[in-house]
Structure 1
Amino acid sequence: MNTSNAVPWRDVDAKRIEDMIAVLISRLHPETQRIDGSGGDGGRDVQIPAPDGLVIYEVKSFTRRLEKSQRAQIKRSLKKAKVLKPRVWHLVMPLDMTPGELDWYNEVKETYAFMSDFTRGRTWLDSEMAKHPEIARYYLGDSNAEIVKALKEIGQEKAALANGIDDASARIVSLATRLNEIDPHYKFKFSTNADGDVNFEIIPRYAGAELDRPITIKAKISFPSTVEGTSAATRFRDTLHYGVPGEVLGENIHNISVDAPAGFGGEWTGGRLWLSGIHPPVAGEVDFRLITADSSERILSNIPMRIDERYMGSKGGQLHLMDHSGQFKVTMRTNFETRKSNFNFSLSPKPGVLPAVALPTARFWATMRPGNKFSFTIGTADPVEFFSIDEELLPNGGDYYEFLSALARVQQASGVFFPIPEELTESEERALRQVVRLLDGEKQSGTWSNLVLRITKEGLERWRAVNSDNAAPFKAVSDIILRIAGRELYLGRLERVFESAKVAEWPETNGSDADGILELRIIPGASTACTSRIVQ
């Protein structure tokens, strides 16, 4: 049964039929991947890589009965598809099978369990094509005349302002909707700026649309033999070869010819040209990792990186990576012809980052020094290739790593977390290093000159009874408070043992405060030595 908008399939050449059906499937399933059949499609024209297995759509242009030749073609496609181990294989063609042809198809299906029941014949195609009339209009009709008419109407919409902004907006939206109903490959977005310029954005409707209907640009561009001209020419070649975004000024442009969908093409001179390579899609989050190793390729550091930007050009691609702290960036440019890669590393402090978050990156930079090597990998795979490090990229990188380690350590011990300070005083840095050594269990030795204790009257009398004026060992326990970056961090209890201590002068007991607290000054006796350690 045919619908009123049925496509006259028998009057359409085979190549156009296959293009129309492939575009329809891509529109129904935007996640599809198109297969170029010019070199043999391996038993599939359109495929959908799904988590539970590959889905294949085999497109045939058969419009008449399935004779021996057509049946042989279907079997050949099945044999090729079997190698791919698909979850399901669909046959799509503008032909409804007869009962005899269905019997043959089901017999073949007994051999290839992944074959689906045949449901995508002419009836199904006519129904789906009626829901997407722009596909047939593009391939079989004169959609360009409709486009030109719509664009002319958009250009006349300034007159509509006389009837009010609501009327003008409704008419422009209607015209834009008409344009988006014409082209099966792209959608069109319109916007204006404060100067009254109208901007058009062309957006692919599905993955691979730019291959079905490519946008081509022909340009005559030249650069002067000056320092600026040579630099501009280099940037332009980078754009062509690696897809890096770039701009060509009007003074270098002699002529531009663009063939774009929906009539958005033409020829121009002057102006500015902005170019960017294609952005290859990323299938989910890629576990990209940077690695450093010693001269024997023993791993020193392994940090995860996320893909920030991807570009592809005629000779290779450029990958922009960023660590999870947002401070460390890597640009990797690969020439596919020579199979060689260049790397550019940059580290830019970013406000608001916690020391523990930046610590893996700091460790990586500390190991990026001459004599070591670096590489990259994806997931748990082995490194692709190790590259020698010929120069120290971050002077004093080890000092920065030790500083962040110390800061992360005291934050973890105290439970007080704050971003990396822009700067610390020398006394704060000294105190930080000293506290970390104590947290590591180190017993610190030093000297002292005097100590003031706050003591009760009863305590003073007990002290006098035990020590009198004689020097003796003395132990004191107090809180460890680290004052750093405007914060106070409590880090536990500090025990200090003084080898020899005595009272400098006994205070008057009537000089105590309201709570009966006196100040007792202690000074060294025969020795000024003391030791400190953290206690429970």
Structure 2
Amino acid sequence: MVRVPWDKLAAESPKVSEALVTMLMLRLRERARAIDGSGGDGGQDLCEHTENGELLIYEEKSFTGRMNQVRRRQVVRSLVSAARHQPDHWDLLVPIDHNPAELRWFEGLREEFPFVRHWRGRSWLDGKFAAHPDLVRYALQESGDYILERIAEARAERDVLLGGLPDYLERASALHARAQEICPHYAVRSTLGSSGQTAVHLTPKAPSPGEQAAIRFVGRIRFPAGDDREEERRRLFEETMRFGGEVELAADNLTGMRLTGPAGLGLEQLSLGGVRITSPRQEVTPPLHGQLVLKRQSGVPLTSLPVTFTEKVTGTEGGTLHGHDVTGVMRVRLRYHLRDRSGALTFSFELDQPVLPQTVVPVLRLIAHSLPGNVMELVLAGANTPGVQALISAGMAPPGWKDNEAQFWADAFDDLGRLQSRTGHYFPLPEDFSRQDVRDVREMIALLDGDENVLTGDTVSVGIESAEALDQLAEAAASLSRVTVGYASLVFALGEHQIDLGPCTEAYTMDEILNMSEARTELAAHGHTTVHMRLARHIPAVRYLGDEPPQ
């Protein structure tokens, strides 16, 4: 464990020890609200409200040495002030490990102030600083050794690159490491654009930096009136500030603007060519599960789909939950407003990898039932509050889709999934799956169900390999007899996939053989021929699987 030399630092500069304590408190301010101490802090150096609604007050003292009577009286005065706020707990933070007498005095305070909780002393502070060396560097950045090291590095940056790329990478790595030390609140990264412009990325080192660490705009952001693009940028900016997200402001929006923020970053010296504001995404742990339900206004359910929210961003008035449905095809965004407890759902769809046809059916059913006049509701698992519910005013169908098209493709992919299940031949959804493919799939399912397919067309062609078969065919055509033709296998093609349904039979009633003379000549010369026949109009041709007609 690294121990901070409190006594030596306090002897050299009494303010250094106080600065170190203050830097440690900045970590607490990630969850706590800092109190402005100008004119007295009312007994609250730091306070926070827990998730259970308890008020915690932290009292900071930069004392070193021992807790003498004068210092004890100061602590009691702070306790009296803190008692006005009726806290549930009160902790003392001071770089002194108590001795037995000091501990007895501190514990005796609970007789009058029952909310007194912990004495956080030097050993406790040392442990915290060992876990956060960036705070120590930040508080001691004027140390002589630290400055000499930085001077040596600065001289190295101006030297010629003797080692080529390895030398460049080593220097870049050193600069990156130094950049992380200039502020304990933000990680710093920069990139160089194709046109030579430099973009600086500041990312909070914690999910929610404290108020003192926030970056703020000073001045007024301009959005020229009459420009639709600027109006959209204004709307996006306001929504990002209120609910989290990402927005980019151009130089024209920032005329006369400047940024302020934590000391050490030097934001006031920057000339703003543009600003991109991005809310850091926080992981939702554990993930928040829910059910998206569509129903009629009467309450009759139509369809539902499980959804899971895994990330969130926050703003000044609420936040946005990001998630997906159980299939992974649909992205779901829930924007919530804390004050009026309202919410708005937004959906997007993407197929970024091959999926089985059954995967997209639930999402297409949801789109099909998302019609104006129906009701959509999001019910969160385990939540005690009512779900988000709204009357649908506009459908979810992608642009260019016709009425009932979502229902058509849901049924089509459902059929394709059934066909794959019946045949045991599974494959991803073909990219060029057409309406003709939809008809072919339904014909195959009907055949597998034992039904006949009625064949369309006026003519049919049959292969013949013997004179006897040709004579029988000619006799059948003359008497309008029914002719059956068997095939060893019936194969359908769907994209790159071949589906073999096994042996099949086709039955025809012929009106006339169209090429009898040519067929006899070809059969005599080659031992096989193809006969083209015109079908009887009033008796349809049929196809069925196997060699026996369906019952």
The TM-score normalised by the length of structure 2 is: 0.65
Q: 1:311 to 1:204 in 2, by over 3 A?
A: closer
Secondary structure, aligned partner of 2:276: strand
1:384: which partner in 2? 387
Amino acid at match of 1:438: L
Q: CA deviation at 1:365?
A: 0.9
Task: Say whether residues 1:122 and 2:125 are aligned partners.
Answer: no
1:49: which partner in 2? none
CA-based RMSD? 5.7
2:539: which partner in 1? 528
Q: 1:346 to 1:450 in 2, by over 3 A?
A: same
Secondary structure, aligned partner of 2:376: strand
Moved more, 242-251 or 164-173: 164-173
2:221: which partner in 1? 221
1:322-356 CA-to-partner distances (Å, cap 9, x unmatched) read: 55776544444333334333444444666744423
Q: CA deviation at 1:210?
A: 4.7
1:87: which partner in 2? none
Q: CA deviation at 1:477?
A: 6.6
State the alpha-carbon separation in 1 of the partners of residues 247 and 168 from structure 2: 37
1:249-302 CA-to-partner distances (Å, cap 9, x unmatched) read: 222321213223533321455522222334344225443543322333343332
Q: CA deviation at 1:366?
A: 1.3
Q: 1:417 to 1:97 in 2, by over 3 A?
A: same
Which structure 2 residue ranges, 5 or more long, are not aligned?
A: 34-45, 108-117, 398-402
1:256: which partner in 2? 258
Alignment equivalent of 1:365, drawn from 364, 367, 372:
367
2:494: which partner in 1? 484
Q: CA deviation at 1:160?
A: 1.0
Task: Give 1:87-102 correspondences, 5 Å limit.
Answer: 94-96=95-97, 98=99
Task: Give 1:100-119 correspondences, 5 Å limit.
Answer: none
1:433: which partner in 2? 442
Amino acid at match of 1:336: L
2:188: which partner in 1? 188
Secondary structure, aligned partner of 1:251: helix
Task: Say whether residues 1:277 and 2:284 are aligned partners.
Answer: no
State the alpha-carbon separation in 1 of the partners of residues 99 and 47 from structure 2: 31
Q: Is the 8 A contact 1:322 1:328 kept in 2?
A: yes
Q: Is the 8 A contact 1:185 1:213 kept in 2?
A: yes
State the alpha-carbon separation in 2 of the partners of residues 241 and 126 from structure 1: 39
State the alpha-carbon separation in 2 of the partners of residues 297 and 363 from structure 1: 18
Q: CA deviation at 1:12?
A: 7.6
Q: CA deviation at 1:533?
A: 4.9
Alignment equivalent of 2:376, drawn from 357, 374, 377:
374
State the alpha-carbon separation in 2 of the partners of residues 157 and 193 from structure 1: 25
Secondary structure, aligned partner of 1:479: coil
2:295: which partner in 1? 293
Task: Say whether residues 1:235 and 2:246 are aligned partners.
Answer: no
State the alpha-carbon separation in 2 of the partners of residues 230 and 24 from structure 1: 38
Secondary structure, aligned partner of 2:239: helix
Q: Is the 8 A contact 1:308 1:321 kept in 2?
A: yes
Q: Is the 8 A contact 1:160 1:168 kept in 2?
A: no
State the alpha-carbon separation in 2 of the partners of residues 260 and 24 from structure 1: 14
Amino acid at match of 1:159: R
Secondary structure, aligned partner of 2:284: coil
2:42: which partner in 1? none
Secondary structure, aligned partner of 1:437: helix
Q: CA deviation at 1:234?
A: 3.0
State the alpha-carbon separation in 1 of the partners of residues 299 and 325 from structure 2: 23
Amino acid at match of 1:247: E
1:55-85 CA-to-partner distances (Å, cap 9, x unmatched) read: xx99775876799999xx9xx9xx969xxxx
The TM-score normalised by the length of structure 1 is: 0.67
Q: CA deviation at 1:122?
A: 3.1
How many residue pairs get aligned? The number is 491
Moved more, 310-319 or 245-254: 310-319
Q: CA deviation at 1:490?
A: 1.9
Secondary structure, aligned partner of 1:386: strand
Amino acid at match of 2:335: R
Alignment equivalent of 2:337, drawn from 324, 335, 338:
335
Q: Is the 8 A contact 1:236 1:246 kept in 2?
A: yes
Q: Is the 8 A contact 1:153 1:175 kept in 2?
A: no
State the alpha-carbon separation in 2 of the partners of residues 369 and 344 from structure 1: 15
State the alpha-carbon separation in 2 of the partners of residues 391 and 220 from structure 1: 36
2:114: which partner in 1? none
Secondary structure, aligned partner of 1:489: strand
Moved more, 122-131 or 37-46: 37-46
Which structure 1 residue ranges, 5 or more long, are not aligned?
A: 27-32, 47-56, 82-89, 107-117
Task: Give 1:394-413 correspondences, 5 Å limit.
Answer: 394=397, 395=403, 396-413=405-422
State the alpha-carbon separation in 1 of the partners of residues 190 and 272 from structure 2: 23
Task: Give 1:33-52 correspondences, 5 Å limit.
Answer: 34-36=31-33, 38=47, 40-41=49-50
Amino acid at match of 2:388: E
Amino acid at match of 2:301: I
Secondary structure, aligned partner of 1:160: coil
State the alpha-carbon separation in 2 of the partners of residues 376 and 214 from structure 1: 34
Q: Is the 8 A contact 1:255 1:268 kept in 2?
A: no
Q: CA deviation at 1:511?
A: 5.4
Q: 1:38 to 1:401 in 2, by over 3 A?
A: same
Moved more, 394-403 or 11-20: 11-20
Q: 1:155 to 1:266 in 2, by over 3 A?
A: farther
Q: 1:373 to 1:152 in 2, by over 3 A?
A: farther
Q: 1:307 to 1:7 in 2, by over 3 A?
A: farther
1:471-498 CA-to-partner distances (Å, cap 9, x unmatched) read: 57858575332123253222455466x4
State the alpha-carbon separation in 2 of the partners of residues 159 and 205 from structure 1: 30
Secondary structure, aligned partner of 1:333: strand
2:159: which partner in 1? 160
Q: Is the 8 A contact 2:94 2:121 kept in 1?
A: yes
State the alpha-carbon separation in 1 of the partners of residues 341 and 99 from structure 2: 54
